[in-house]
Amino acid sequence: MKERLQKIMARAGVGSRRKAEELIETGCVTVDGQTITKLGTTVDSSVSLIRVSGTPIRMEDNVYILLYKPKGFVTTLCDEFNRPKVTDLLSGVRERVFPVGRLDYDTEGLLLLTNDGDFTNELIHPRFKIPKVYIAKLKDRVEPEKINVLRNGIRLEDGWTKPAKVVVMKQTSAFTVLRITIYEGKKRQLKRMANAIGHPIMELKRIQFGPYSLGQLQKGEWQYVKRLEVIGQPQVNGKVFTKNMQKKIENKSSQPFCGEKSKRS
């Protein structure tokens, strides 16, 4: 039976349907040797060979991996400049996994990789408001009124940012270190927010994504983890998580979740 190509890819764990569509449009997907770039293409997966970046897709058990992404790696799996990819760090992982969301080439920190397309969608879809926590080092001393601008929302070229939680961790005349929690995922959002208030980001590290945190992982290390529920009760006053879930996230912010830690790559 023929189905839309992006639906088959999502079910096979390539990523969310949105991610599958991006891979199709950028020419990373072939069907029986022919590159497909048109969305809506239908395929019979029982008779056709589908490849993503040269690797055949297949139905397999879902796996979930936390990686401490170092700087100098891209989260895309189809990079025109042939730069090192985060999947290069996953020595010994047999399943074909894909990053949940993105971290810039020069950004480090927590990155979740999985072949569970539905779970990926739960984590990245804007309507679920999954919190992402970063430690950001901004240039110069940031005055309180500008920090409040970050908290309240900034108008960027693609619209207003939603309110963010901002905690000042350290300040000198040369830099300011902030802990920032955002609930959306605009492209290069924090860097653009910082530029908008006149204090470019010098260093950026993600320490938490929904119920997952870096824990004791070091740069380049990864570990298998369990799938944790990220969606609570139906939204009430814009809140997605139940009180118990939010408390669990806060309590786990400095602890690794169970899983098998790898050796450093």
For the chain, the structural domain boundaries read 3-56, 64-126+211-251, 131-209
Q: Tell me if residue 104 is catalytic.
A: yes
b/e map 138-174, b = 16+ CB within 10 Å: beeebeeebbebbeeebebeeeebeebebeeeeeeee
- Tens digits of residue pLDDT in 112-135: 999 888 888 888 888 888 999 999
When pLDDT is averaged across residues 133-160 and rounded to a whole number, the result is 96
Looking at CATH, the fold of the domain delimited by 64-126+211-251 is given as Alpha-Beta Plaits (3.30.70)
CATH architecture of 131-209: 2-Layer Sandwich (3.30)
Q: Output b/e per residue, 31-49; b: 16+ Cβ within 10 A.
A: beeeebeeeeeebebeeee
Two domains, one topology: 64-126+211-251 and 131-209 = yes
Beta bridge partners of 206: 109, 134
Catalytic residue selected from 79, 88, 104, 140: 104
The pTM is what?
Answer: 0.71
Per-residue pLDDT, 253: 37
pLDDT in tens, 58-88: 777 789 999 999 999 999 877 788 899 999 9
Name which CATH class applies to 3-56. Answer: alpha beta
Position 175 confidence tier, pLDDT thresholds 50, 70, 90: very high
DSSP 145-190: HHHHHHHH--EETTEEPPP-EEEEEEE-SSEEEEEEEES---TTHH
